[in-house]
A and B are shown apart, each in its own frame.
Chain A
Amino acid sequence: EVVLTQSPATLSLSPGERATLSCRASQSITFYLAWYQQKPGQAPRLLMYDASNRAPGIPARFSGSWSGTDFTLTISSLEPEDFAVYYCQERSNWPRGTFGGGTKVEIK
């Protein structure tokens, strides 16, 4: 079973700053990783899929990359609406899915 480890648990940044979130898989999942954004009181929303593809309607300030088992979500310049919790998810044993523990991006 693949384990996803997200870091840091909390990221304290100011609007306009760059955010870099990490998700490490315990074994190779090639590029089959997604990122979700969740705001308080809302369901998660698909943000990125297949490691580096933005979901429809997601702004270009969001980008994803990967190298081996390390995946990165980057927000180039934080907007007020970007402060939320971000989860990564893999589907190597689809239709099952495994999620990471989340990274909270909070306002500094």
Chain B
Amino acid sequence: VQLLESGGGLVRPGGSLRLSCAASGFTFSTYGMSWVRQTPEKGLEWVSAISGSADTTYYADSVKGRFTISRDNSNNILYLHMNSLRAEDTAIYYCVQSGYCSPTTWYPAWFDPWGQGTLVTVSS
């Protein structure tokens, strides 16, 4: 299993950014996926999750209405669209595998494995 994030960078407050996570080594469409971010100040924070078929999404209150998680199962890519970025969104963003999805059930699982992360810096 390999997860490779990209798309991070420097963006001004109020700006937008799209993160990508290229997945390989497993049947992407049968696994839920999450984004988890990390800062020295707040530590590890779960951000968002999406089911294997993309019919269910979840967001942390801190990003709800500003971030959108999506996926392209044809190309095995997970996305995080980030709008109205704030300084407090500055973090390393990790893509994480989050549980097997059957046609009817998304099974709970621990965050494993993780990508190497991509750094997002929101600053003027």
Query: Which of A22-30, A75-83, A92-100 forms contacts with chain B?
Result: A92-100
Residue among A45, A96, A101 making CB contact with B114, cutoff 8 Å: A45
In residues 49-93 of chain B, which contact A (Cβ within 8 Å)? 49, 58, 60
Residue among A43, A46, A95, A99 making CB contact with B106, cutoff 8 Å: A95
In Å, the complex CA distance between A94 and B58 comes to 10
- Chain B 99-123 interface 0/1 with A at a Cβ cutoff of 8 Å (1 = within): 1000000101011111111000000
Shortest beta-carbon distance from A68 to chain B in Å: 21
In Å, the complex CA distance between A87 and B99 comes to 20
Instruction: Label chain A's interface by main secondary structure.
Output: loop
CB pair B110–A89 under 8 Å, yes or no, is yes
User: How many A-B pairs fall under 8 Å by CB?
Assistant: 56
- Given A43-B116, A44-B44, A87-B44; A95-B110 close (CB under 8 Å): no
- Size class of A's contact patch? 20 to 34
- List chain B residues, Cβ under 8 A from A21: none
- List chain A residues, Cβ under 8 A from B44: 44, 87, 89, 99, 102
Shortest beta-carbon distance from B69 to chain A in Å: 11
In Å, the complex CA distance between A100 and B43 comes to 8
> Which residues of A pack against B, CB within 8 Å?
34, 36, 42-46, 49, 55, 87, 89, 91, 94-102
Q: Which 3 A-B pairs have the closest CB atoms?
A: A43-B114, A46-B112, A95-B49
